[in-house]
Structure 1
C-alpha cells in the first residue's frame, strides 16, 4: 500500500472512530419503506448495533479484509454482545464498493440472503455504518 493511500486510510479511520453515533434518517426511511411494502413492522435505529457495525467495518478497513468473521474469530453476535446488547436474534449485511446509501440498499435488496435479513420479522432494530474504502456494515437484531 503506498504512503498516500495509507495516510488517507489513517485519516478516514480516525474521523470514523471519533464521529458520534447517530441514526441516518435516510437509512431509517429507506429500510422501513422497504419493510412496509412487504407488510413488515418498521425497525428502530439502535446505536449499539451501529457501534457493532462500525467496529467491524473499521477493523476490515484497517486490516484489509472483508468477511463476516472477524480477525479474532468473532461473528456478528459476538460483536453485538461486546457492545452490551443482549440479543435473541442477530443478522449482518456487508457490502463493499457502493458509493452511497441508495446503491448499497439496492444491492442488498437484489441479494436474496441480504434482503431476507432486512425483511426479517425477528428483527426490531438495526444499525448501519459506512467505513473507509466504501465498506458498509448493517446489523439487525432483537433483544431478549
Structure 2
C-alpha cells in the first residue's frame, strides 16, 4: 500500500518563476518543496502554405484530457472531506492571527480535477498526466491569478483522512509555508478516493487574484 506522504514538491507559482526550496524527503511521511511553475503554454509556428505569404504563429491547443476518463475510473470524490480540510486549514491560519481563505469554485474544480487525475492514472506529482502545471489548471477553470500555490498529499487507512493530510502539511516546512502564507485569499480542495488501492489523494490550491 502507498506510504502516506504530502507532495514531493509543494508548488508556489508567480507570473514570473521564483527560486525553489526543496526539503529532504522522509521514508514514511509527506515531504514537500516549492517549485516555480510557468504560467502558460508556449505558442508554436504553423507550417507555411505553398505560397510565399508568411503565416503568423498560432497558439498550441490545450493538451488532451487525461485518461482514463471519469467514466472509466472507479475513483470517487469526497466532498465532505474537502470541506473538512478547508475548516482545518482555516483553524490553523486563525490560530496564528492570519485571515482565513475563502473557497473559490474555480480553484475547487482545479484541485478536484488534479486529485482525480492522480487517482485514475496512478501517479503523485504536481504535473498532471496532460503535462499541466498548477497555474495552468487554475487558469483552465477560470481563475485569474497573480499567485498560485499547490500542496498535495496521499495516504491509506488512518493516514488517508483530512486531519492526517493537514498534519502532514504542517509537519513539512515547504507545505506549511504555502498553507500559512498571508498572501493567499482563496482556496480550492479536491479529495478523491481510489478503491482499487485504498488510497486517498488530496490537493489544496491557494490563490490570489
TM value normalised by structure 2: 0.57
- CA distance in 2 between counterparts of 1:37 and 1:54 reads 27
Shift of 1:23: 6.3
* Residue 39 of structure 1: aligned partner: 97
Q: Which has the larger radius of gyration?
A: 2
The within-5 A match list for 1:5-20 is 10-12=73-75, 15-16=76-77
- Partners of 2:81 and 2:107 in 1: CA distance: 11
TM-score after normalising by structure 1? 0.82
2:178 is the counterpart of 1:120: no
Choose between structure 1 and 2: higher helix proportion: 1
For structure 2, the 5+ residue unaligned runs are 1-71, 194-198
> Equivalent residue for 2:123?
65
Q: RMSD in angstroms over aligned alpha carbons?
A: 2.1
Q: Aligned pair count?
A: 130
Residue 22 to residue 107, structure 1, CA distance change in 2 (3 Å): closer
Shifted more, 77-86 versus 56-65: the winner is: 56-65
Structure 2 residue 185 is the aligned partner of structure 1 residue 131: no
Q: Structure 1, unaligned stretches of length 5 or more?
A: 1-8
User: How far, CA to CA, are the matches of 1:33 and 1:134 in structure 2?
Assistant: 22
Q: Shift of residue 121 of structure 1? A: 1.2
Runs of 4+ that moved beyond 6 A: 19-23
Q: What is the match of residue 51 of structure 1?
A: 109
- After superposition, what is the alpha-carbon deviation per residue over 1:28-52, rounded to whole angstroms, capped at 9, x for unaligned? 3211111112221111011211100
